[in-house]
A and B are shown apart, each in its own frame.
Chain A
Amino acid sequence: MEVSQPFPILKLPFVALWNVIKSMERKELIDLSFTSKRLVTIIKSIPIPNSDIEIGITNLQSSFFPQQNIQPLIMTEDLQERIKHLGGKFDFNESTGKEIIQFEYSKAFIDYICALYRSEIFAVQIDVRIPIPLLTSVLEWMNDRQPVLTSCLIYGDCKDNETIDRFFQKRILPIRQLHLNLKLSPEAKTFNFGILEMEEFTARHRDINTLNPIPNWITVETVLTSNCIIMCIGASPFTVTDLKRIIKGWINGNNPRMEYFHVEVKKFNLRSLLKGIEYEKRETTFERMYIPENKSYKIQRPVTKRTISGGYDIRRSDGTVATFQVLSRPQNPTALWKFVMVIWKKTVDS
């Protein structure tokens, strides 16, 4: 095939030019933007579909890169050269560490891509093993660069509390959806979450069942002081007393916008939980369905539809009704029990 003849893209009618550009994958579009300032202006004028920008902060490179699909773009020397000539000012000297250099290049590159797509960073994935100074720098940068982050995932083997504590200490920008997917060490201490104020908070932990002690990574105060719409907590150290405090706390006005609460706990005495709580027991034939409001997040949502059969209805002073139930898996005695509470604000009777 003859390929030497050019395809004069700028001579296309504007609608055709838009469509050629909209057909490009992210990497092609970024490469195209490097060719001419005029094309940068044109690209910026086009509403690009699927322009959500995600970044992954990993331990592997001690830096972070804009993600394209699953594979991160690797900060190669070639890419650094390109970034250098995008107009960014880098004040490096001989003593500047490689980690800082990569961080500065990555920042400049992400800012360039965000400007090109006229978009903010939509989602961030953080490997919990990244160096603390890098995490601090990233959070300070994120706090300054945009008003809100839609989704954030923190994952990996969590050897100590430092990364998570630092994350919640340094993070100022609001996060709409936060998901922790951690492997906790048995010695893990209580994380300093501060006040969890986000639409969705999910914490899942690997390799924890009733045969092993559950670390005290979260306290009931964290739940009582939180202000989440959906909260799903896996493998918690909560006792029956803690669950009772959560129920009574909700009745007394805590967690005002909570719609769905799910926590995994070790076995407990259900009679002790119900003692002292005013409730109405529902028959299991009485089914109600919870469907959360449809929202655009990056991370898979912990609940999309939930049918509650029976349960115990409780009522807050403003008349709002919630139903809680405790679920076990009789065929698997080592499995944790699940405590589920649904607040009936947006419901569809089945």
Chain B
Amino acid sequence: MSCEEPTTSPTPENNITVVSSDGKEFLLDLKLTEQSETLARLISNFEYDRTDVKKDPVPLGNITSAQMQKIIEWLQHHRYYPKWEQNDIHYSTSFTFETWVEEYLNIPNNEMFELLNAANYLNIPRLFSTICRIMASRITGKSAEQIRTVLNIKTDVKNDVYTGIPIQEDSSSSEDGMSEISLSPSPPPI
């Protein structure tokens, strides 16, 4: 088995330990970490792929143990897949997913949001792109009001584009609902 949790025993040669925000340790096969550009870069920088280098646990302060479990499930399933290429299929209108992926991502929107953030933080392109496409498809055929509900968008238009009926102005400030702009995930603290 390439992944176990938790472990405190001496780190096996081809594994690294990552620690979730709630303190749980996960032993990760180095082969699996190749799918995460963040982890792969970290392993390369610290030469954790060498047997003579002491491997400290890697804290992942932005990822809970539940999210980490879910991500490991993804990494395991795609262990032998070819390296993800950011090509046109990402934008194809006929982009469909295998049954396993459909079932894997058959989760509530809020969990999907957390998983997308985790995939973005760990830079797992296949998972990240898949969630983006699935989220996009979840608004298909919905009205503006339904989309606002699904995506938690506070309206700033005066009239509903469907009905023309004035929309109740939201009392929150204009910054509310905005996130900090970050172009790449921060490197995990070592």
Contacts and interface: CB of A to CB of B under 8 A. Distances in A.
Interface stretch (B8-16, B37-45, B76-84, B156-164): B156-164
Contacts, number: 148
B138 A14 contact: no
Most buried by A among B143, B147, B162: B147
A86 B144 CA distance: 13
Interface stretch (B17-25, B65-73, B109-117): B109-117
A13 B181 contact: yes
A28 interface: yes
A347 interface: no
Contacts of A11: 113, 152, 177-179
A7 interface: yes
A: interface residue count bin? 35 or more
B112 to A, nearest CB: 6
B173 interface: no
B108 A31 contact: no
B115 to A, nearest CB: 10
B162 A78 contact: yes
Contact of B91 (A6, A12, A50, A81): A50
Interface residues of B, number: 54
B71 to A, nearest CB: 15
Contacts of B106: 1
B119 to A, nearest CB: 8
Interface in B138-190: 138-140, 142-144, 147-157, 159-164, 177-185
B95 to A, nearest CB: 8
A315 to B, nearest CB: 45
Interface of B: 88, 90-91, 93, 106-113, 116-117, 120, 128-129, 132-133, 135-140, 142-144, 147-157, 159-164, 177-185
Given A11-B178, A23-B129, A35-B151, 8 more contacts: A7-B152, A9-B135, A10-B178, A16-B128, A23-B90, A31-B139, A35-B153, A85-B160
